[in-house]
Amino acid sequence: MKAIIIYSVLFIGLTVSIISCKEETPQTLLVRNWKLAEWVTVPSMGMSDSLKAVLMKSATMDFAADRKFTFKGMSPEPLTGNYAISPTGKSVIFSPANSETTYEHTIQTLTRDTLVLIDQIGNKLVCVPQTE
């Protein structure tokens, strides 16, 4: 009888620990509101450091679990649309609303604390979770 109780407790404990473990995937790590912390532009962009500094003060990238995104602060109007993570988990494909063009950004780093994207022309966007 003691053995049955011990095995039951062990089984319940193991089941609870397995269920409580959340697997971190690129999708689950990406879903949050990110603030642009650093923006390394290619020389051909011709963006001044002062303009870049102004944009970085308010630039945010919000990725929702329903695979919708909103980028604010990089243009006069927020940019919205859908996104997808590539099957390899190494890039994000953006499909902006009101556009038939998609944009793919390479994921250089994606952790709970850092998101680093490289766009199609080589600009590097370094983001951190936004704290409000």
Neighbouring residues of 31: CB distance < 8 A, sequence distance ≥ 6: 63, 64, 65
Question: Has residue 112 got a pLDDT over 50?
Answer: yes
Give the pLDDT confidence score for residue 104 in this predicted structure.
Answer: 97
CA distance 105 to 75: 18
Evaluate whether residue 59 is within a structural domain.
Answer: yes
CA distance 4 to 70: 54
Evaluate whether residue 92 is within a structural domain.
Answer: yes
CA distance 117 to 94: 12
Evaluate whether residue 93 is within a structural domain.
Answer: yes
- pTM of the predicted model, to two decimals? 0.79
pLDDT in tens, 120-130: 999 999 999 99
pLDDT band at 90 (very low <50, low <70, confident <90, very high): very high
CA distance 69 to 103: 13
Evaluate whether residue 9 is within a structural domain.
Answer: no
Evaluate whether residue 123 is within a structural domain.
Answer: yes
Question: Has residue 4 got a pLDDT over 80?
Answer: no
Count up the domains in the chain and report the number.
1
Evaluate whether residue 90 is within a structural domain.
Answer: yes
Domain holding 32: CATH number?
Answer: 2.40.128.280
pLDDT in tens, 31-79: 999 999 998 989 888 888 888 888 888 899 999 999 999 999 888 899 9
Question: Has residue 16 got a pLDDT over 80?
Answer: no
Evaluate whether residue 72 is within a structural domain.
Answer: yes
* Domain membership of residue 78 as a residue range: 24-129
Evaluate whether residue 19 is within a structural domain.
Answer: no
